[in-house]
Amino acid sequence: MIARRVWTAFALLMFPGFVAIAADDAYGDPIPEGAKLRLGTARLRSSGNSPTAMTPNGRFLASSLPNGTMGFLDANGEVTKAVRIDGEFGMVLGFSADAKRALSSGYQNVFVWDTGSGKVLAKTTRNVFSGDNSSSLSADGKVFAVGGTKSFNDKEKEKLPTAVVWDVESNKQAALVTPAQNEAVSVALSPNGKRLATWGYHYDRTAKEAPKPEVDPSRLVQFWNAADGKETGKARLLTGSNPATVAFNPDASLAAVSGGDGTVYLFDPATGAPKGMLLGRSRQGRKIAFSPDGKTIAAAGDDGSIQRWNVEDGKRLGLTEAPLTMNSNLRGLLFTDNERVVAWGNRGSATCIWEAPSGKLLTAAGGHNNPISGAVVTGGDKEILTASGDGVILRWDFAKGKELGSLTLKMPAGGYGSGVVTGAIVLSPDGTRALAYDGNGIAVYDLPAGTQQYVIPGDFNRNNEAKFSGDGSKVVQVMSSYDAKKNPTRIAVWDVVTTKKLGEIELPGLNQVNASLSPDGKSLVTIGMKAEAKGDGEFVVTGWELATGKKRGEFTEPGGYGSFAVAATADNKTAVVLSPKSGPIVVDFVTGAKVRALDLESKQPGSMLVVSPDGKLAAVSLRPNFGPTPKVPVQVFDIESGKLQKTVPGGTGQLSVLSFSADRKTLLTGFYDTTALVWDISEK
């Protein structure tokens, strides 16, 4: 059980909210005390810091941890080591061959540090751009190179960006070069530290037409002697894309250049002379790497596929498809020996590692790869559906939490944005429909087919959001803008079956508007802040007769800092309101009177409020407490009495979804870490 204990320590750091070791999830990891099930896995899934580099042996990823240390994670997401860097903070960009030294980038500085002690060995201050190829470390960790960007300082705006080679042992500059580009410079240092390659972005603001490839500095790669900064050769890509990445073989006798469009070009860095080209599939070569013996070269593409060639004769050695489509989020590629290649990247909030030539996925599979956006119990309490921002809906067994399959929402083919939905998905309470924004408005989908039935027109001058009514028969569409006076928020209600608009109201002068439909579908309750009110503003709750747009009643109180939300209740005349001043209260939207406050144990409510489908229970999230393992409790109330019924003790991170089952016996909590928890709230 050593691995489990290590993973638990990691979970407490990266995914706070664990209150005790209780049952295990499907991956053998503990879930919070009181929870029945965890849907999905939190392994290598984070809504915050994600890994930024991999050790040369392909076994560990480096990631910043919440407590200010740098963690080394294995493929299971277990922290095998945590190091506090002495006096510096920044993301890891690379390692020496023995992983005893690491290269990191902080705020306008790049530094090398000892991975055992955390001691900073060398540092240089530079205008460094954020991204790949900004810095490079030699295999022995004794030399590093840093590119640069054009200065935004008016006194230095005419200076060209430079690249520097820095000696770690003396902590001094070894060479300074001024490449041909005028905006940004990328760098690659050979493993033996003897050669430097530079390339980058050039823009002529006075030019009247695009430069020809033969003279365009953006297509130029320059090679330099890393010891003295003298240029040894130039190489230019006349076809395809501009250079995207450069890699050297171990002895620096050959350089590979790729534009990321399929072709890998080979050059002699001593002269810049061409040495051949390797043809790959489309968009291949976003990352390239040489084997330790220099005899094989590999390239990885946007989709995560890996191609390999024999360097001497250019023979193709094989193509390995990625086990998961990476969607242009490839982060790294390296040989762990002369035969095995490891690649890694991000799919939303999930970090994935895979290898070639086997094509094996090395990290945990299953679950979502993006934060949860919807969760419902369906099928007579037999299944749970969860949705996320990756366009996927997953089916789960209600009793065991086993993943049963997936549904994919499909946009109609053709035109901009066609294909698979990539935004957040909203599920109907019964799990038979879904909403997703597709660029033209709010699209309504039938489930389980995942077929788009129609689109509710949006307003291009306003933000468009929508949610289902409590029974799922109607859609409440909120069209809001940042200018409440000139472009007021509009709220429309649509019948899902007949596709008829049932009513629309306009709310001039209100910001941060939200709305809820009464269970009988006759009244709309809105909340918002008066834009022109003095001080902290004025919080407004208003009831409306939907068919006529007639105002029914209005409750106001001083505003304040905090979140607010609204949900109509079973009696069709009251609503539970999360107020920035009073917390959760029940308001009569017909008379405009405050009825009661909910008996909140904490005076610090969170940002989420939901009412059960029958309108009798309300769940309110609390603000996370401070500390290394902050809890995120959710409290459930009886609306009629205002009394607390149950407290769900905590979760795995920042909440994104709250949802009741139809029978009010189950509460679902979804999180930004891509997981969901199932809670039994039937017992007080």
Bridge partners (DSSP) listed for residue 675: none
Q: What is the mean pLDDT of the chain?
A: 88
> Across residues 636-644, what is the average pLDDT?
92
Please report, as a single letter, which amino acid is at residue 177: V
Do 126-279 and 284-363 agree at the fold level? no
> Across residues 403-422, what is the average pLDDT?
72
> What is the b/e burial string over 631-667, where b = at least 16 CB atoms within 10 angstroms of the residue's CB?
bbbbbbbebbebebbbebbbbbbbbbbbbbbbebebb
Structure tokens at 280: 């790959």
Kindly report, residue by residue over 152-203, the tens digit of the pLDDT.
666 666 788 999 999 999 999 999 999 999 999 999 999 999 999 999 999 9
Is the pLDDT at 371 greater than 60? The verdict is yes
Write down the architecture of domain 284-363 according to CATH.
Answer: Beta Barrel (2.40)
pLDDT for the residue numbered 353:
94
**115 — alpha (psi -120 to 50), left (phi > 0) or beta?**
alpha
Confidence label for 533 from pLDDT (cuts 50, 70 and 90): low
pLDDT for the residue numbered 33:
85
3-state secondary structure of 375: strand
Q: Phi/psi at 207 (nearest 5 deg)?
A: -70, 145
pLDDT for the residue numbered 413:
67
Kindly report, residue by residue over 534-562, the tens digit of the pLDDT.
666 899 999 999 999 999 999 999 887 77
Cβ atoms 477, 491 nearer than 8 A: yes
Bridge partners (DSSP) listed for residue 670: 657, 676
pLDDT for the residue numbered 461:
74
> What residue ranges in 245-371 does DSSP mark as E strands?
245-248, 255-258, 263-267, 274-279, 287-290, 296-300, 306-310, 316-320, 330-335, 341-347, 350-356
> Across residues 404-415, what is the average pLDDT?
79
Separation of alpha carbons 333 and 305, rounded Å: 11
Confidence label for 130 from pLDDT (cuts 50, 70 and 90): low
Kindly report, residue by residue over 516-531, the tens digit of the pLDDT.
999 999 999 999 988 6
Angle at 158 between CA 156 and CA 159, to 5 degrees: 70
Separation of alpha carbons 347 and 386, rounded Å: 17
Is the pLDDT at 483 greater than 90? The verdict is no
pLDDT for the residue numbered 147:
95
3-state secondary structure of 111: strand
Number of residues that this document lists for the chain:
684
> What residue ranges in 131-190 does DSSP mark as E strands?
135-137, 143-146, 148-149, 163-167, 172-177, 184-189
Lowest mean pLDDT among 176-180, 280-284, 587-591: 280-284
Separation of alpha carbons 178 and 164, rounded Å: 9
pLDDT for the residue numbered 14:
40
pLDDT for the residue numbered 7:
39
Separation of alpha carbons 212 and 208, rounded Å: 12
pLDDT for the residue numbered 684:
60
Kindly report, residue by residue over 426-439, the tens digit of the pLDDT.
999 999 999 998 87
Place of tokens 């629309």: 504
Structure tokens at 459: 């307003």
Q: What percent of the chain has pLDDT over 70?
A: 90
Lowest mean pLDDT among 58-62, 418-422, 504-508: 418-422
Higher-pLDDT residue of 93, 156:
93
Q: What percent of the chain has pLDDT over 90?
A: 63
Separation of alpha carbons 483 and 486, rounded Å: 6
Neighbours of 102 (CB within 10 A): 26
Is the pLDDT at 654 greater than 80? The verdict is yes
pLDDT for the residue numbered 17:
35
What is the pTM (predicted TM-score) of this model?
Answer: 0.84
3-state secondary structure of 485: coil
> Across residues 494-515, what is the average pLDDT?
94
Bridge partners (DSSP) listed for residue 256: 247, 266
Kindly report, residue by residue over 58-92, the tens digit of the pLDDT.
999 999 887 789 999 999 888 899 999 998 888 99
Kindly report, residue by residue over 598-628, the tens digit of the pLDDT.
887 666 777 889 999 889 999 998 877 655 5
Is the pLDDT at 297 greater than 70? The verdict is yes
Separation of alpha carbons 669 and 593, rounded Å: 31
- Element housing 235 (H / E): strand 231-236
pLDDT for the residue numbered 442:
93
For the domain 126-279, what is the CATH code?
A: 2.130.10.10
pLDDT for the residue numbered 54:
96
Higher-pLDDT residue of 46, 224:
224
Confidence label for 47 from pLDDT (cuts 50, 70 and 90): low
Helices (H), 25-153: none
3-state secondary structure of 312: coil
Higher-pLDDT residue of 57, 412:
57
> Across residues 207-222, what is the average pLDDT?
92
Domain chopping of the chain, boundaries: 126-279, 284-363
Higher-pLDDT residue of 492, 3:
492
Separation of alpha carbons 4 and 113, rounded Å: 30
